[in-house]
Structures are given as structure tokens and as C-alpha cells.
Amino acid sequence: MMQNCPTVFIVDDDEEVRDSLRLLLESVGLQVRCYPSATEYLEAFDPSWPGCLIVDIRMPGMSGLDMQERLAEQPIKPPVIIITGHGDVPMAVRAVKAGAVDFIEKPFRDQILLDSVHRAIEMDAKQRGEAMRLSDIREHLGRLTPREREVLDRVILGKRNKTISEELGITLSTVEAHRSRVMDKMEADSLSQLMRMMLSLE
């Protein structure tokens, strides 16, 4: 099973439910992994593995809600789809408010679940893409010297080169040289792009 492929993780204590969900998802070409309990899933959890999570809200031991709360502590976690019995709707609403992307009442039509899974996988890809972009920006920032960072901080505040020169006690040409190196190291094509990078870290 390829770890770089989006995977649907199914967590349900009912083996028949796990098997039927697996067959449904695999029938449309999705990669699936099943776990009989929240504890077993959390023990195997790998934040680098893309995909989404289908979890029953009521399970012996750790509930789907409890597992969701544990996952919320992770910087990167899969989007969660809650499946629930009719009596669990208030709990499912709580789960959605806590960040679940969807809750689906049993019994459900196959297409409803498949649509939800595809949305969740798309959401996960976007979240991972954004996380990677922010990681790249932080990596570029780490290449700056302390003086270049001082210049960058003032540029982002909209200060002119002359003002930066006076505040830092360096020549105008030195400020310009630092600005040029900042643009190169940050791999920014324009000042507006540089500002958007920095604003995205706030």
C-alpha cells in the first residue's frame, strides 16, 4: 500500500461495517485501511499520510469524538467524516462544530458517502499544499542573516529605504543590497509577493 497515495482510513468496531465500507470505496479505486478501534488507529497514525478519516461516533473505549479531539492536537490531521446512528445526531453536530467535515446518518446511500469522501480528500490536499507552502516560507526565512531580517521586518511595515537606513545606522546602498538579498533568499518576484508571504505566517 503506497503511503503517498490518498487513503481512506475507516475506524469502526463493527467488522461488517468496515468490510462493506472497504468494498464500496475500493470499488471506485480508493485506497483503504481499516481499524477496529480509535486506539489502534491513533497508534498507527502518521501525519505524513494523506487522505481522510471515516469514524463511527459510538465505539467501545475511545469514542469518535474523543479521537477527533486527540487528532485536533496534531498540526496536520486528516479531515474527519462522522458516521452515526439516528440517536447520535446531537453528538455528530458537536463533532462538526469541533471540525469534522461531515456527518452521515445510517443507513446512508453509497453516493452520499462517496461524495463526502472525495470532498474530504480534496480538502486534505489543499491543507497539505498550504502547510507545505508555509513550511517553505519559514525555511527561506531561516536563510536570512539577522541584519537581513531587520531590513525585511521594516520593509513589511512599509518603511522607505531612507528610514530603514536611519533606524539601523547603515548606508542607503547597504539597505538596498540587503533588500535585494532578501528578495533572492525568499524567492519573491515582487514586494507584494513578499508581503503576502509574510502575512500568511501571521
Residue 173: exposed, middle, or buried by beta-carbon count in 10 A (0-12, 13-18, 19+)? exposed
Of 142, 191, 143, 148, the C-alpha closest to 168 is 148
Q: Say what angle helices 146-156 and 191-200 make with each other, to 10 degrees.
A: 100
Distance of alpha carbon 53 from alpha carbon 12, whole angstroms? 11
Q: Can you point out the beta strands (E) in 57-160?
A: 80-84, 102-105
Q: How far apart are CA 7 and CA 144, in angstroms?
A: 38
pLDDT at residue 185, rounded to an integer: 95
Write phi, then psi, for 50 (nearest 5 degrees).
Answer: -75, 160
The number of residues making up the chain comes to: 202
Query: Computed from CA positions of residues 175, 178, 180, 186, in that sequence, does the dihedral angle turn out positive or negative?
Result: negative
The pLDDT of residue 164 is 94
Q: How confident is the model at residue 178 (pLDDT cuts 50, 70, 90)?
A: very high
Write down the pLDDT at residue 180. Answer: 95
Q: Check: CB of residue 10 under 8 Å from CB of residue 54.
A: yes
**Average pLDDT value for residue range 75-98:** 82
- Residue 8: pLDDT over 80: yes
User: Using CA atoms, how far apart are residues 177 and 173, in angstroms rounded to an integer?
Assistant: 6
Q: Cα separation of 120 and 52, whole Å?
A: 6
Domains and CATH numbers, the chain: 7-134 (3.40.50.2300), 142-200 (1.10.10.10)
Across residues 116-140, what is the average pLDDT? 93
Whole-number pLDDT of residue 106: 84
Q: Pick from 120, 151, 147, 107: which is nearest to 51 by CA?
A: 120
